[in-house]
Amino acid sequence: MPGRGCQHGSDHGHRLRPSRDSLIVSPHGTRVVVATMPVDFRKGHDGLAAVMQEELGLDPYSGVACVFRSRSGDRIKVLL
């Protein structure tokens, strides 16, 4: 895969094309919530589930996909 193992998202001029093996497909009708405030990325899935429940008022086990971003804005974590 082009760019694999490269740092800082460099693809060395190659266009990355998604394949069937590189996509996560959610069922039709899945609700996606994007948290607008950055979170501490040292939190694991339990900590992010607590953020979903306590700060966003969402049930982490309801099937809602929640997207969190790092403080620097260069990474995301998704809870499904």
Condensed to tens digits (0 to 9), the pLDDT of residues 48-59 reads: 999 999 999 999
Question: Into how many domains does the chain fold?
Answer: 1
Domain range for 43 is 33-79
Is residue 47 domain-resident?
yes
Length of the chain: 80
Is residue 27 domain-resident?
no
Is residue 68 domain-resident?
yes
CA 13 to chain centre: 25
Is residue 69 domain-resident?
yes
CA 48, CA 46: separation in Å to the nearest integer? Answer: 5
Condensed to tens digits (0 to 9), the pLDDT of residues 7-58 reads: 555 555 556 666 667 777 777 888 999 999 999 999 999 999 999 999 999 9
Is residue 74 domain-resident?
yes
Distances (CA, A) of 4 to 10, 55, 76, 80: 9, 35, 18, 25
Residue labelled with tokens 């040292």 = 42
Residue labelled with tokens 């900590």 = 47
